């Protein structure tokens, strides 16, 4: 490889340069004004630096921490609190629906467990109790997860609603009767109680459908109405056949 030949610096520095094409940048007759050119270059550079510092100061004063013209994403996220948030959109109706339906479902599971532990229960009634338990236990977990993600309490505030004031909820005395009953008497009592229990759940779910905001909660309320209205009719038919 041929060694690169150094040529005198055309800017008058006296230093050799390895870039001979620089000789075409400044005519020899202007080389004597090189000191003036250097001063001008320093002034321009200083002015540009001052401008950048001023712009950076404006950007920091905006509070966004980004350069002007580059904060569109931050503004958008601030305007929409649900963007990238762990707190999905919901309203008071969604919260109340979940807080009330969780203990309501829990009691239905308790009643179903009581039936599944008994002997001499008609197979159709036992099968219904198993279906109710299988459907409502996972929904309890789902609604509990919603309340956690919404930063809401999993239980209602004291004085909002007692468990017995919720539509269709059985009293302790009702549950004790179910526990003590056997055979056809137990099946009859279970169906009678669960019909009222389901009717209460349907009423609560319809309120969520009309007033709720969270898409998942509203969809669950619609599913509850559809499935439990169907089960209400099924239980009425079973009750008529006992």
Do 114 and 187 belong to one domain? yes
Do 188 and 108 belong to one domain? yes
Distance CA 56, CA 44 (A): 18
Distance CA 142, CA 136 (A): 10
Q: What is the pLDDT of residue 78?
A: 35
Do 209 and 107 belong to one domain? yes
Q: What is the pLDDT of residue 166?
A: 79
Would 100 be classed as within a structural domain? Answer: yes
Distance CA 99, CA 104 (A): 9
Q: How far is CA 52 from CA 38, 70, 71, 101, in A?
A: 21, 15, 17, 59
Upper half-sphere CA count for residue 107 (Cβ side, 13 Å): 25
Do 192 and 103 belong to one domain? yes
Q: What is the pLDDT of residue 178?
A: 98
Distance CA 170, CA 194 (A): 9
Do 15 and 133 belong to one domain? no
Which residues form the domain of 129?
92-241
Q: What is the pLDDT of residue 159?
A: 54
The one-digit pLDDT tens for each residue of the chain (242 residues) are 444 444 444 444 444 444 443 444 444 444 444 444 444 444 444 444 444 444 444 444 444 444 344 343 433 333 343 333 345 799 999 999 999 999 999 999 999 999 999 999 999 999 999 999 999 999 999 999 999 999 999 988 755 544 445 789 999 999 999 999 999 999 999 999 999 999 999 999 999 999 999 999 999 999 999 999 999 999 999 999 99
Q: What is the pLDDT of residue 223?
A: 98
Would 164 be classed as within a structural domain? Answer: yes
Do 150 and 232 belong to one domain? yes
Question: DSSP class of residue 33?
Answer: G
Would 147 be classed as within a structural domain? Answer: yes
Distance CA 18, CA 4 (A): 7
Whose CA is closest to 207, among 193, 194, 222? Answer: 222
CATH at 115: 1.20.1260.10
Do 228 and 165 belong to one domain? yes
Q: How far is CA 23 from CA 28, 41, 65, 131, in A?
A: 8, 19, 46, 92
Q: What is the pLDDT of residue 167?
A: 86
Do 47 and 97 belong to one domain? no
Instruction: Specify which residues 8 forms β-bridges with.
Output: 16
Would 75 be classed as within a structural domain? Answer: no
Do 150 and 45 belong to one domain? no
Do 111 and 25 belong to one domain? no
Would 60 be classed as within a structural domain? Answer: no
Whose CA is closest to 168, among 138, 143, 136, 202? Answer: 202
Would 15 be classed as within a structural domain? Answer: yes
Would 159 be classed as within a structural domain? Answer: yes
pTM summary value: 0.63
Q: What is the pLDDT of residue 88?
A: 75
Do 23 and 110 belong to one domain? no
Task: Count how many domains the chain has.
Answer: 2
Do 140 and 215 belong to one domain? yes
Residues 6+ apart with CB under 8 A from 88: 82, 149, 150, 214, 216
Would 86 be classed as within a structural domain? Answer: no
Distance CA 108, CA 120 (A): 21
């Amino acid at each position: 490889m041929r060694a690169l030949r150094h040529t005198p610096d055309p800017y008058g520095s006296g230093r050799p340069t390895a870039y001979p094409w620089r000789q075409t940048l400044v005519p020899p007759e202007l080389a004597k004004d090189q000191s003036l050119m250097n001063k001008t270059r320093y002034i321009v550079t200083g002015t540009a630096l001052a401008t950048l510092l001023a712009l950076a100061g404006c950007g920091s004063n905006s509070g966004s921490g980004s350069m002007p013209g580059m904060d569109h994403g931050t503004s958008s996220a601030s305007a929409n609190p649900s963007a990238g948030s762990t707190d999905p959109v919901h309203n008071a109706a969604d919260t109340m629906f979940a807080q009330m339906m969780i203990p309501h479902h829990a009691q239905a599971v308790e009643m179903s467990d009581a039936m599944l532990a008994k002997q001499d229960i008609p197979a159709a009634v036992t099968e219904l109790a198993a279906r109710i338990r299988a459907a409502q236990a996972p929904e309890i977990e789902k609604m509990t997860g919603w309340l956690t993600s919404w930063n809401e309490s999993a239980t209602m505030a004291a004085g909002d609603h007692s468990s017995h004031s919720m539509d269709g909820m059985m009293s302790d005395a009702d549950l004790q009767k179910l526990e003590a009953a056997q055979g056809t008497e137990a099946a009859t009592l279970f169906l009678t109680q669960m019909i009222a229990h389901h009717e209460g759940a349907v009423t609560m779910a319809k309120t969520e459908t009309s007033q709720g905001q969270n898409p998942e909660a509203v969809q669950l309320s619609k599913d509850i109405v559809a499935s439990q209205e169907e089960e209400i009719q099924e239980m009425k038919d079973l009750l008529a056949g006992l």
